[in-house]
A and B are shown apart, each in its own frame.
Chain A
């Protein structure tokens, strides 16, 4: 497998961690309680830590004098390969939890396969991340249950988020050309095989939370090709602000 294909494959995983980490970090200091504030910050820290491991590896693979920061901050919007789900805004706590939950379930299934990758570095990163993401999934599932089976208001709010975000779940299981090459070379995960298990887990938790599984026929996609939602540009404007305003400096 060519390094360029491998790099693109890694972006497909790592960019999710960066963008979701960035979204979560917006919440620091504004949570509904100190405990949830600390917990969402923890998840942001885990995801950004994973991002750094992936990007350091990409920097090494690139063969150029690149750093993790060049990769994180100096790409154009079309070059980020995260799914649309993770860039969706923090409308309210129900959206934060639902976005997290819908991604965590996928993320854990992905990592459980990625640890068997024949790429040693990816396998090592996955093994470490599994511990963190298992906690994320427990946290978000617990909150889905609390909000779903809490008060009438909370059920309504979290159901609204589930209905709204559901259209972004199908993209999780799409395969890009780079993904296919990575699977053929034994370094990547065939995400299409995770779909049934994903739906089974998600359905179980939503039902326990007394929530409805949405019946959506139309799904949104594009993130994996770098075609993002309108939210992405603003997120990147914040993320890249310093590196764009003051290029070529050490911080």
Chain B
């Protein structure tokens, strides 16, 4: 294809997106669009899968049968999200094995929040309330993103995430209304998860390298800072209702702007964790690699068995 022809296709492509048309797997797309989407969707899928680990840590120790079942179901939902996000990603011409390989070799990223440890039961509540809460704010706009398979996957993901968020808040409410020990446990979890949750919405706009292009392709509809403000404005009153204190001495309602002012985020910590030196980066990756490597003989057996069955069928047919 000549350069002129490509340019022409690109123009048509950008116009389609501007008209809010969905791009489907078989449609022509610029290479950069394909690559950006593989990066973002796989990063999202990896986050779901790695995100199963900190919460999975409490399944065997959940404090009641009801909570145990709910947590199991929640972590299972995340596996499901991973599954359809990997599938959406595969429509862009990359295999699940390749994507896993990128995760295991550290080439692909996942959400840094999952590199923090879950050390008490209240952390399960805090993750649902804050982490899923921040995720929803990030993800709802993606339900109308330009790439069809991703947008459709996100509609389902968001429905389930919003259920998880309510569930997490309900755990926190129960603790906050419980004994002094339980309330202290809830407050401690909020103290530890608050700042990492704010960081989850990404670096400040000035530092964010992907924002402009992503806006054009509707991979992003608001900037990181706008999303962060939205999260804070939404979450602070929720903490107030259950009598917990957001661990930010500079947090203050601003009548003029109609938003909360908040304190400085420790971006050094953010970059430390992103670059692989958070409290659990190593543990999370080992757990994933371990599951993958120890599962190899199982996957091989399934393939070998399927092949044998196929051959048997063929023999019968002849």
Residues in A lying within 8 Å of B, measured CB to CB: 22, 25-26, 28-38, 41-42, 44-45, 48-49, 51-52, 55, 68-69, 72-73, 92-93, 145-147, 149-151, 153-154, 157, 238-239, 241-243, 246, 249-251
CB distance from A16 to the nearest CB of B (A): 15
Name B53's contact: one of A29, A45, A250, A251 (CB within 8 Å).
A29
CB distance from B57 to the nearest CB of A (A): 9
Indicate if the CB atoms of A238 and B300 lie closer than 8 Å. Answer: no
| Cα(A161)–Cα(B303), bound, Å | 21
Residues of B in contact with A, size category? 35 or more
Indicate if the CB atoms of B80 and A38 lie closer than 8 Å. Answer: yes
| Cα(A153)–Cα(B298), bound, Å | 9
B304 within 8 A of A: yes
| Cα(A241)–Cα(B301), bound, Å | 37
List A contacts of B66 (CB < 8 A): 52
Indicate if the CB atoms of B79 and A41 lie closer than 8 Å. Answer: yes
B63 within 8 A of A: yes
| Cα(A52)–Cα(B294), bound, Å | 33
A251 and B72 contact, Cβ closer than 8 Å, known pairs A32-B294, A38-B83, A242-B121: no
Indicate if the CB atoms of B67 and A41 lie closer than 8 Å. Answer: no
Indicate if the CB atoms of B60 and A22 lie closer than 8 Å. Answer: yes
Indicate if the CB atoms of B69 and A52 lie closer than 8 Å. Answer: yes
Q: List 25 A-B contacts (CB under 8 A).
A: A26-B60, A29-B52, A29-B79, A29-B287, A30-B56, A32-B295, A32-B296, A34-B79, A37-B79, A38-B83, A45-B73, A45-B76, A48-B72, A69-B65, A147-B298, A149-B308, A151-B300, A153-B300, A153-B301, A242-B121, A249-B178, A249-B179, A249-B182, A250-B174, A251-B63
Indicate if the CB atoms of A93 and B295 lie closer than 8 Å. Answer: yes
List B contacts of A28 (CB < 8 A): 52, 56, 59, 72, 75-76
Interface residues of B in 49-105 (CB under 8 A from A): 49, 52-53, 56, 59-69, 72-73, 75-76, 79-80, 82-83, 86
| Cα(A56)–Cα(B132), bound, Å | 32
Indicate if the CB atoms of A38 and B76 lie closer than 8 Å. Answer: yes
List B contacts of A241 (CB < 8 A): 61
Indicate if the CB atoms of A51 and B301 lie closer than 8 Å. Answer: no
Indicate if the CB atoms of B63 and A38 lie closer than 8 Å. Answer: no
Q: Tally A-B pairs: CB < 8 A.
A: 134
Indicate if the CB atoms of A146 and B64 lie closer than 8 Å. Answer: no
CB distance from B44 to the nearest CB of A (A): 14
Write the chain A residue with the least CB distance to B292: A32
Indicate if the CB atoms of B174 and A31 lie closer than 8 Å. Answer: no
B305 within 8 A of A: yes
17 A-B pairs besides A69-B64, A93-B295 with CB distance below 8 A are A25-B68, A29-B56, A31-B295, A32-B292, A34-B49, A35-B83, A36-B298, A42-B76, A45-B72, A45-B76, A48-B69, A147-B298, A150-B302, A241-B61, A242-B121, A243-B63, A250-B174
Secondary structure at the A interface, as helix, strand, loop or mixed, is helix
B318 within 8 A of A: no
Interface residues of B in 141-200 (CB under 8 A from A): 171, 174, 178-179, 181-182
Interface residues of B in 84-140 (CB under 8 A from A): 86, 121
List B contacts of A31 (CB < 8 A): 291, 295
Write the chain A residue with the least CB distance to B80: A38
CB distance from B290 to the nearest CB of A (A): 8
CB distance from A22 to the nearest CB of B (A): 6
List A contacts of B72 (CB < 8 A): 25, 28, 41, 44-45, 48
| Cα(A28)–Cα(B80), bound, Å | 12
Indicate if the CB atoms of B301 and A34 lie closer than 8 Å. Answer: no
A154 and B61 contact, Cβ closer than 8 Å, known pairs A38-B80, A48-B68: no
Name A51's contact: one of B49, B65, B73, B305 (CB within 8 Å).
B65
Indicate if the CB atoms of A151 and B301 lie closer than 8 Å. Answer: yes
| Cα(A36)–Cα(B64), bound, Å | 26
